[in-house]
Amino acid sequence: MPVPAEILAVKRPRNTFVVAYGKNKDRYAVRKYAGCRYDHGRHIPVKGPTIGHIRDGKYIPTESDPSFAPPQTPQTDLKDWAGAVLCDRLFGDVLSDLRREYADDEALKIWCIAVLRVCNPGAADYELKDLYDASFLSELHPGVALSRNTVGGLHKEVGRTCSRIVRFMRRRAESIAPGSNVLLDGTLKSDESHVNSLSDFSRKARTKGSRDISVLYAFDLDRMEPVCSKCYPGNMLDLTAYGDFVRECGIKRGVIVADKGFPASAAAECRRENPDLHYLNPLKRNSTLAKAHGMLDFDGVLPDREGISFRKARVAGGRKWLYSFRDAERAHAEDAAYLARARKDGAYDHAAYRDACASFGTIVLECDLDLDPALVYKMYEDRWQIEIVMRYYKAACQFDETRVHSDYSVIGSEFCDFLASVLTFRLIKAFDKAKLLEKRTYSRLMSLLRRAKKIRIGDSGQWLRVRTNPSTDGILAALGLEPAAQPPPKRRPGRPPKFRIPR
């Protein structure tokens, strides 16, 4: 059946021909010639593949047609702006540090994952691509591949080459100033994977009902940000991991302030190798060392603290000092709690109560430096900052479970979580400097930043900020993201009212 003339008249690429097909021969395909062959003195054209179709009087190319242009993916014209810009400003130096260990595209992926996890707490890996497209981060750093498979492969590659993580951590540890307080603590994260060696039952397995990994953190109190971290099996004691953590992360200076789970003897070799590395550790209340030096016989009162008595003693035969303190208010609270517990149990032993009273509200610290007791008390009192680190790590960033399986993936994902915790504390410092935390919480401020968006108007690609409430505008101005609003100009005084004579 011949092809109708109106079909042949449709404009199509050169060197092609039309073929009718279908049950009724009413559908038309456009095929191109693939050359010619010589047959007994004749040049016979060779039919090639189909490159298009003619429908409704128009030529429609297929993907095999060189002129085929696939439909473009629609661009996102409304994006979260304030949080991405602020994070880029505060966290840009970390991207430069990452590029010293990783290729540019790999470093940018790691950096973007950390930023997106901070701006979107609890975000899963498969959500990062959509979050990146909806964030102004895609305008500041375009072309970052963050699909689910890409992120999963990146975690494995980063964990597989973990020596680069160690070098990155050691470079950060080198910035610790001599005499700076380095707070050390660990936390447990749920990890129910059956294929990695880090997942195991911890001391809290009886109450949690799940297996964990242990993550150790070092926090520089002077800079107010995490310095380094490392993950260990969930069943490993802090005592066992302490020395390995200090040695591998390259902590060579500062005063390590830790709790009772990190005894000084566990890192004694590291301190012998690094004379600028010191420690401040609490002792157990039943410590024989404290009893031998009468550390509960207080002989002074701190001048700048109310109700705090102290004692200082040097341990004979070594470079070691003991500092003990008693908080009268805390002692009263422990006394009341002891009596309440005895009343509930129905068993009161006066002799045991008298012995326990001596240690109520007390703490004994061991240090290898001869310091003023008031300074020692402040150093240990500031240790609560590491508890804030762990609280923000689990609550604000929602890093309470691993969500990955293999050893390599856990190590790589935890590295991104560490970078996210560094960014979190830089945001906290920025909020605190702007005095925004006096009336709002960190989570509330991050929620308000997500409301500040920009929209692309017209074909010019110009971005305009979406109108927000004056309170949000004030927050953006305080953080330096927007110029401060100018007060309205004062009106010029008008003519005075005429004096009227009362009738």
DSSP 114-141: HHHHHHSTT--GGGHHHHHHTBTHHHHS
Residues 180-206 have a mean pLDDT of 82
What one-character-per-residue DSSP string does 150-161 give? HHHHHHHHHHHT
Residue 72: pLDDT band (50, 70, 90) is low
Residues 155 and 10 in one domain: no
501 within some domain: no
pLDDT at residue 328, as a whole number: 93
CA dihedral 304, 310, 315, 319 (to 10 degrees): -10
Two tokens, residue 325 = 């303190």
Angle at 404 between CA 400 and CA 405, to 5 degrees: 125
pLDDT at 299 over 80: yes
Residues 87 and 192 in one domain: yes
Two tokens, residue 465 = 């900020």
- Longest CA pairwise span in the chain (Å): 129
Q: What is the pTM of this model?
A: 0.79
What does DSSP assign to residue 395? I
Dist CA 114 CA 88 (whole Å): 11
The sign of the torsion formed by the CA atoms of 287, 293, 297, 303 equals negative
Residues 177 and 208 in one domain: yes
Residues 316 and 285 in one domain: yes
Structural domain total, the chain: 3
- Give buried/exposed letters for 294-319 (b at 16+ CB in 10 A, else e): ebeeeeeebeeeeebbbbbbeeeeee
Boundary of a domain, candidates 339, 359, 382: 382
> Mean pLDDT score of the chain, rounded to an integer?
88
Kindly report, residue by residue over 222-265, the tens digit of the pLDDT. Answer: 888 999 999 999 888 888 899 999 999 999 999 999 988 888 88
Dist CA 10 CA 59 (whole Å): 7
Residues 376 and 391 in one domain: no
Residues 123 and 235 in one domain: yes
Beta pairing partners, 6: none
503 within some domain: no
Beta pairing partners, 363: 325
**Shortest CA distance to 223 belongs to which of 280, 183, 163?**
183
Dist CA 427 CA 433 (whole Å): 10
Dist CA 348 CA 363 (whole Å): 25
Residue 333: pLDDT band (50, 70, 90) is very high
Kindly report, residue by residue over 385-414, the tens digit of the pLDDT. Answer: 888 877 777 776 777 788 787 889 999 999
Q: Which of 5-9, 40-44, 379-383, 472-476 has the lowest mean pLDDT?
A: 40-44
Kindly report, residue by residue over 347-375, the tens digit of the pLDDT. Answer: 888 888 888 898 999 999 999 999 999 99
pLDDT at residue 484, as a whole number: 74
**Shortest CA distance to 169 belongs to which of 233, 247, 223, 224?**
247
402 within some domain: yes
pLDDT at residue 79, as a whole number: 94
Residue 187: pLDDT band (50, 70, 90) is confident
187 within some domain: yes
pLDDT at residue 71, as a whole number: 60
**Shortest CA distance to 284 belongs to which of 324, 246, 316?**
324
495 within some domain: no
* Cβ(216)–Cβ(208) below 8 Å: no
Dist CA 180 CA 460 (whole Å): 52
Boundary of a domain, candidates 382, 412, 437: 382
pLDDT at 34 over 90: no
316 within some domain: yes
pLDDT at 94 over 90: yes
C-beta atoms surrounding 68 within 10 Å: 12
Q: What percent of the chain has pLDDT over 70?
A: 94
Residues 429-439 have a mean pLDDT of 93
**Order of strands across the sheet with 212-220?**
225-233, 212-220, 181-190, 254-257, 277-282, 362-367, 321-327, 308-314, 300-301
- SS3 assignment, position 341: helix
Residues 211 and 128 in one domain: yes
71 within some domain: no
Residues 15-19 have a mean pLDDT of 90
498 within some domain: no
Enumerate residues 6+ apart whose C-beta is below 8 A from 157. Answer: 106, 408, 412
Residues 83 and 227 in one domain: yes
Residues 464 and 423 in one domain: yes
Ramachandran bin of 16, using left for φ above 0, alpha for ψ from -120 to 50, beta for the remaining angles: beta
pLDDT at 304 over 90: no
Rounded (to 5) percent helix, strand, coil in the chain: 40, 20, 40
Dist CA 206 CA 345 (whole Å): 24
Please tell me which residue, 40 or 50, carries the higher pLDDT value: 50
pLDDT at residue 156, as a whole number: 94
Residues 281 and 402 in one domain: no
**Shortest CA distance to 420 belongs to which of 161, 157, 94?**
94
Please tell me which residue, 333 or 485, carries the higher pLDDT value: 333
CA dihedral 46, 47, 48, 50 (to 10 degrees): 170
What does DSSP assign to residue 227? E
Q: Which of 9-13, 39-43, 134-138, 185-189 has the lowest mean pLDDT?
A: 39-43
Residue 65: pLDDT band (50, 70, 90) is low
How far lies 199's CA from each of 196, 261, 406, in Å? 6, 21, 10
- Range(s) of the domain holding residue 42: 5-61
Residues 139 and 207 in one domain: yes
- SS3 assignment, position 350: helix
Residues 18-23 have a mean pLDDT of 89
pLDDT at residue 420, as a whole number: 93
* Cβ(258)–Cβ(218) below 8 Å: no
Place of tokens 């030529």: 59
Residues 322 and 378 in one domain: yes
- SS3 assignment, position 145: coil
Task: HSE, CB side, 13 Å, CA atoms: give it for residue 83.
Answer: 30
pLDDT at residue 199, as a whole number: 81
